[in-house]
């Protein structure tokens, strides 16, 4: 119990500062609130629409609701956000949204307010509407108009204006035209019954027609299919995108050849990390062996040569490689001086995969040497001597007796190096150029430059899952209790 | 340098022996060369990243302190240095305080869900920095910590905690529990026992954990890029930007200063480790 009390503060601290941020990222990879938040009525109205062909556009009411949603969105300056969100899924949509947002004023919606107010002057009175919609049965039966009216009251109205804007009446028309006769009678409001009786009159001033007239893209079935596909609150779209798939018109399909970038990037990250791990084993194993077999005093001295890079700032080491590998850098200078390379044909060793692999192998090598060394120190030298005295050649003694005992060290070091490598960001960013970057660089790009956070989060989630599997493997091999530093 | 071999050693074995040592030597060169080469280059009188002929002839004109002057008198670097020394100690303090307490709790017998708790506490070290940074960016924006000093400190403390946990638990393994019982027997309360008996013995572990946490925060750039803001830029941030945009030799001067700092830290950690090994040796005897 006392133990838990000691642990609790740190656990709470890590939960808030670290675990919850990670959970937030996971949530963002499936969250898709933008369309349903900004176009709530359209999202609700389009649910029942299932296109049967290229000419089968959504119903007039969907367009009416879109007009209501867009009018509110323009007022709140959020209409471009829907456009950019949907543009991730189908290029070009954002311009349709931008244009219609600017052109909305030119839509003639007057017939809608006139229709109601000519029937009954009360419709033009805010107080009357307020009283009407305060009845929960009525606002439940007329959901679009009830919420449109409330939004109008908070965002649009001022003391001078007593008649609501046209869009409230457009919403009312949409709500009424979907209701059956007996439903309207049940509500028991005369003005609603009168308005409902002739509501079909309004089809002469079709909002659908105005949209398509204004921009023929709004008469494109595919645009509506995209809106419908991405109107639910949660989506697997970002994850599909992260593995080069997309939810097309007829279900999940592969992206076009030119848009397939992420699988290649994942594979490249894995292959380069593996190359770095193998290089670290090849370079680190002999060094660890030497350290483990030297007298302690000498070994400690040489160990400093391993520990100093380990303690040196990552950026210092990366900048050192940038300086060394440049075309006008030290290594090229040396090669030119000793005549191995012609001055005119200096080697390109940076801003490509070679640069990333060399710099990262250097940076991660201590993480291989240290666990190898600590395992090799525990291998009794008598085993090798026994093997030799039983007639084994030096190679056989090493390969059959020593090497198997050092495998746990190789396992621990490899998993550690690989885990660290797949998540690297700084070094590939600085020395990797275009071809030598990792998936992390793409995640950073989506979060800070393209602002496609959902996709960044989905890519991050996939990387996280991969790392956690490796973490589990590492725990199996080494045990997280046995991690040692320095 | 040359080893005297027994007479029966074959030529092949001799070649193998020297070949192996040569290979290891080259790996050591690979490890140290990049770090060593920037030290003289930082005294370069020109604005190049390579040795000028004057430098190679060891002439005085080839060398200058101008890049160091640039570092010491430039307001951007001033701000970055100030921020680095303002963030890292605070993050270290938080990580060490919470981490030491938790490590003591974790070292007691029969802690329920010990493995799960341990896995959660170590995870900031394992999760790729870009993922932590992205998550923190999202979450800290929601709660208003993004772009604040406190936000960066909290983030860095979280990243440093695994190191404190690991080093302190390692020292606690060898801690003789009968000492706390003896202290209690002699009438000391738990708080007094902690500060007078337990703390002095695990102090080396606490300090080296603290140094790890310090260097983690001091050297960290990804999280600062996302959680911080331009007014909170640290030395690594400034270096990162410098390397990405126009690369100026001032960076080499900064790098040299940082290498000196890491040598100091490494020496301290090594001395502490040896002291703790000595103490352990004494208590075992």
Report all structural domains of chain B as residue ranges with CATH numbers, in order of start: 11-62 (no CATH), 75-284 (1.10.3720.10)
Q: Is A88 a residue whose pLDDT tops 90?
A: no
Residues of B in contact with A5 (CB under 8 A): 105
Q: Is B48 a residue whose pLDDT tops 80?
A: no
Give the helix ranges, DSSP H, for B108-234: 114-126, 129-142, 149-173, 178-185, 190-193, 199-219, 222-227
Q: Is the Cβ–Cβ distance between B80 and B234 less than 8 Å?
A: yes
Please report, rounded to a whole number, the percentage of residues in chain A having pLDDT higher than 70.
98
Minimal CA separation from B272 to chain A, in Å: 11
**pLDDT greater at residue A283 or residue B176:** A283
The 10s digit of each residue's pLDDT in B85-107 is 999 999 999 999 999 999 989 88
Give the helix ranges, DSSP H, for A207-261: 207-214, 221-229, 237-242
Domain A262-482 has CATH 1.10.3720.10: yes
Q: Is B19 a residue whose pLDDT tops 90?
A: yes
Q: How confident is the model at residue A249 (pLDDT cuts 50, 70, 90)?
A: low
The 10s digit of each residue's pLDDT in B197-207 is 888 888 888 98
Q: Is the Cβ–Cβ distance between B268 and B262 less than 8 Å?
A: no
Cβ separation A14–B49 shorter than 8 A = no
Q: Is the Cβ–Cβ distance between B180 and B162 less than 8 Å?
A: no
pLDDT at B201: 84
Q: How confident is the model at residue B2 (pLDDT cuts 50, 70, 90)?
A: low
pTM: predicted TM-score of the whole model, two decimal places: 0.84
Please report, rounded to a whole number, the percentage of residues in chain A having pLDDT higher than 90.
37
Q: Is A486 a residue whose pLDDT tops 70?
A: no
Residues of A in contact with B94 (CB under 8 A): 13
E strand or H helix that includes residue A252 = strand A251-254
Q: Which residues contact B34 (CB under 8 A, 6 or more apart)?
A: A317, A320, A321, A324, A362
Cα B183 vs. chain centroid, distance in angstroms?
35
Question: How many CB pairs below 8 Å do chains A and B form together?
Answer: 269
Can you read off the two tokens belonging to residue A192? 């609603």
Substitution target in B28, B34, B132 with the highest count of A β-carbons within 10 Å is: B34
Q: Is B280 a residue whose pLDDT tops 70?
A: no
CB atoms within 10 A of CB B56: 11
E strands in A313-472: none
What's the mean pLDDT in A424-446? 91
From the list A5, A430, A464, which residue is nearest B131 (CB)? A464
Q: How confident is the model at residue A131 (pLDDT cuts 50, 70, 90)?
A: confident
d(CA A350, CA B176): 53
Cβ separation B118–A2 shorter than 8 A = no
Q: Is A480 a residue whose pLDDT tops 70?
A: no
Computed over every residue of chain B, the mean pLDDT equals 87
Residues of A in contact with B15 (CB under 8 A): none
The 10s digit of each residue's pLDDT in A263-317 is 999 999 999 999 999 999 999 999 999 999 999 889 988 998 998 998 888 999 9
In Å, what is the CA distance from A463 to each residue of A299, A312, A469? 38, 27, 10
From the list B112, B155, B251, which residue is nearest A17 (CB)? B155
ipTM over 0.90: no
Give the helix ranges, DSSP H, for A432-452: 439-448
In Å, what is the CA distance from A39 to each residue of A32, A89, A101, A486? 12, 17, 13, 56
pLDDT at A485: 59
- For residue A234, what are the β-bridge partners? A31
- For residue A248, what are the β-bridge partners? A251
Cβ separation A322–B243 shorter than 8 A = yes
Cβ within 8 Å of B, A 377-416: 394
Can you read off the two tokens belonging to residue A43? 């999202």
Cβ separation A484–B35 shorter than 8 A = no
d(CA A5, CA A12): 11
What's the mean pLDDT in A24-38? 90
From the list A23, A313, A447, which residue is nearest B134 (CB)? A447
Q: Is B137 a residue whose pLDDT tops 90?
A: yes
pLDDT at B232: 93
pLDDT at A462: 96
Crossing angle of helices A166-178 and A60-76, in 10° steps, is 150
pLDDT at B58: 79
Q: Is A482 a residue whose pLDDT tops 70?
A: no
Substitution target in A11, A280, A323 with the highest count of B β-carbons within 10 Å is: A323
Domain segments of chain A as ranges: 34-232, 262-482
From the list B34, B127, B163, which residue is nearest A321 (CB)? B34
Cβ separation B102–A11 shorter than 8 A = yes
The 10s digit of each residue's pLDDT in A218-245 is 988 888 988 888 888 888 888 998 999 8
Q: Is the Cβ–Cβ distance between A224 and A53 less than 8 Å?
A: no
pLDDT at B285: 30
Give the helix ranges, DSSP H, for A15-157: 20-28, 33-38, 40-45, 60-76, 79-87, 93-103, 110-119, 126-133, 136-141, 143-151
What's the mean pLDDT in A340-345? 83
d(CA A34, CA A36): 6
Can you read off the two tokens belonging to residue A254? 């592969």
Please report, rounded to a whole number, the percentage of residues in chain B having pLDDT higher than 70.
96
Which of helix, strand or coil describes residue A377? coil
Give the helix ranges, DSSP H, for B42-144: 53-56, 66-73, 75-107, 114-126, 129-142
The 10s digit of each residue's pLDDT in B51-88 is 777 777 777 888 888 889 888 888 889 999 999 999 99
- Cβ burial of A347 (10 Å; 0-12, 13-18, 19+) is middle
The 10s digit of each residue's pLDDT in A345-401 is 888 888 899 999 999 999 999 999 998 998 998 899 899 999 999 999 888 999 999
Residues of B in contact with A424 (CB under 8 A): 128
Q: Is the Cβ–Cβ distance between A5 and A208 less than 8 Å?
A: no
Q: Any idea what DSSP says for residue A216?
A: G
Cβ separation A326–B20 shorter than 8 A = no
Q: Which residues contact A184 (CB under 8 A, 6 or more apart)?
A: A176, A192, A193, A196
Crossing angle of helices A143-151 and A60-76, in 10° steps, is 20
Convert B126-153 to b/e letters by CB count within 10 Å (16 or more is b).
bbbbbbbbbbbbbbbeeeebbbebebbb
Computed over every residue of chain A, the mean pLDDT equals 88
d(CA A333, CA A339): 10
> Alpha-carbon torsion A254, A260, A265, A268, what sign?
positive
pLDDT at A178: 87
Cβ within 8 Å of B, A 415-444: 419, 422-426, 429-430, 440, 443-444
Which of helix, strand or coil describes residue B5? coil
pLDDT at B283: 42
pLDDT at B284: 36
pLDDT at B121: 92
- Find the farthest-apart pair of alpha carbons in chain B and give their distance in angstroms, rounded: 76
From the list A306, A324, A362, which residue is nearest B37 (CB)? A324
What's the mean pLDDT in A113-141? 87
Q: Any idea what DSSP says for residue B249?
A: T
């Amino acid at each position: 119990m006392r133990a838990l009390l000691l642990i609790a503060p740190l656990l709470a601290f890590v939960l808030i500062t670290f675990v919850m941020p990670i959970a937030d990222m996971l949530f963002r990879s499936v969250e898709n609130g933008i369309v349903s938040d900004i176009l709530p009525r359209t999202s609700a109205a389009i649910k029942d629409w299932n296109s049967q062909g290229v000419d089968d556009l959504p119903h007039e009411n969907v367009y009416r609701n879109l007009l209501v949603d867009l009018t509110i969105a323009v007022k709140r300056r959020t209409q471009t956000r829907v456009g950019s969100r949907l543009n991730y899924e189908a290029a070009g949509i954002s311009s349709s949204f931008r244009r219609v947002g600017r052109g909305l004023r030119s839509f003639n919606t007057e017939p809608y307010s006139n229709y109601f107010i000519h029937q009954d002057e009360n419709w033009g009175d805010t107080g009357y509407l307020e009283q009407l919609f305060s009845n929960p049965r009525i606002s439940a039966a007329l959901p679009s108009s009830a919420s449109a009216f409330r939004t109008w009251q908070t965002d649009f109205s001022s003391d001078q204006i007593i008649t609501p804007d046209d869009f409230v009446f457009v919403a009312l028309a949409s709500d009424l035209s979907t209701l059956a006769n007996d439903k309207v009678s049940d509500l028991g409001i005369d003005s609603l019954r009168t308005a409902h009786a002739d509501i079909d009159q309004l089809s002469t001033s079709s909002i659908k027609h105005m949209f398509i007239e204004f921009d023929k893209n709004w008469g494109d079935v595919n645009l509506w299919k995209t809106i419908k596909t991405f109107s639910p609150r949660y989506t697997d779209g970002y994850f599909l995108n992260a593995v080069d798939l997309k939810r097309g018109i007829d279900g999940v399909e592969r992206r076009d050849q030119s848009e397939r970038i992420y699988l290649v990037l994942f594979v490249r990250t894995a292959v380069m990390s593996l190359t770095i791990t193998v290089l670290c084993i090849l370079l680190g194993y002999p060094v660890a062996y030497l350290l483990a077999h030297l007298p302690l005093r000498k070994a400690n001295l040489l160990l400093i040569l391993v520990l100093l890079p380990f303690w040196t700032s990552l950026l210092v080491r990366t900048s050192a490689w940038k300086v060394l590998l440049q075309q006008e850098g030290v290594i090229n200078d040396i090669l030119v001086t000793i005549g191995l390379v012609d001055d005119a044909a200096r080697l390109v060793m940076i801003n490509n995969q070679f640069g990333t692999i060399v710099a990262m192998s250097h940076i991660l090598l201590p993480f291989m040497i240290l666990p190898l060394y600590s395992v090799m120190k525990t291998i009794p030298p008598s085993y090798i001597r026994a093997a030799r005295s039983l007639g084994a050649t030096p190679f056989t003694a090493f390969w059959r007796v020593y090497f198997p005992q050092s495998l746990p060290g190789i396992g621990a070091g490899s998993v550690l190096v690989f885990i660290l490598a797949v998540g690297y960001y700084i070094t590939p960013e600085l020395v990797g150029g275009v071809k030598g970057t990792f998936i992390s660089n793409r995640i950073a790009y989506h979060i800070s430059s393209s602002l496609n956070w959902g996709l960044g989060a989905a890519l991050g989630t996939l990387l996280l899952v991969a790392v956690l599997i490796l973490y589990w493997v590492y725990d199996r091999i080494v045990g997280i209790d046995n991690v040692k530093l320095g | 340098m040359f080893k005297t071999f027994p007479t029966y050693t074959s030529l092949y074995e001799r070649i193998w022996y020297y070949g192996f040592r040569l290979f290891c030597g080259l790996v050591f060169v690979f490890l140290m060369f990049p770090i060593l080469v920037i030290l003289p280059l930082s005294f370069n009188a020109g604005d190049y990243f390579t040795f000028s002929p004057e430098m190679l002839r060891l002439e005085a004109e080839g060398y200058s302190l101008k890049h160091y002057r640039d570092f010491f008198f430039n307001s951007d670097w001033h701000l970055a240095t100030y921020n680095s020394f303002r963030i890292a100690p605070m993050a270290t303090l938080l990580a060490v305080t919470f981490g030491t307490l938790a490590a003591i709790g974790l070292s007691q017998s029969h802690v329920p869900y010990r493995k799960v708790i341990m896995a959660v506490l170590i995870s900031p070290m394992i999760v790729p920095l870009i993922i932590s940074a992205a998550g923190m960016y999202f979450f800290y924006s929601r709660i208003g910590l993004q772009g604040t000093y406190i936000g960066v400190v909290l983030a860095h403390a979280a990243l440093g905690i695994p190191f404190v946990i690991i080093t302190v638990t390692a020292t606690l393994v060898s801690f003789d529990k009968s000492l706390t019982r003896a202290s209690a027997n002699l009438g000391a309360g738990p708080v007094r026992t902690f500060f007078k008996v337990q703390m002095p013995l695990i102090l080396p572990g606490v300090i080296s954990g603290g140094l790890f946490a310090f260097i983690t925060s001091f050297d960290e750039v990804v999280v600062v890029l996302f959680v911080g803001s331009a007014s909170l830029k640290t030395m690594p941030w400034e270096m990162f930007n410098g390397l990405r945009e126009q690369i100026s030799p001032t960076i080499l001067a900064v790098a040299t200063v940082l290498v000196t700092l890491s040598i100091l830290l490494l020496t301290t950690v090594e001395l502490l480790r040896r002291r703790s090994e000595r103490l352990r040796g004494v208590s075992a005897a």
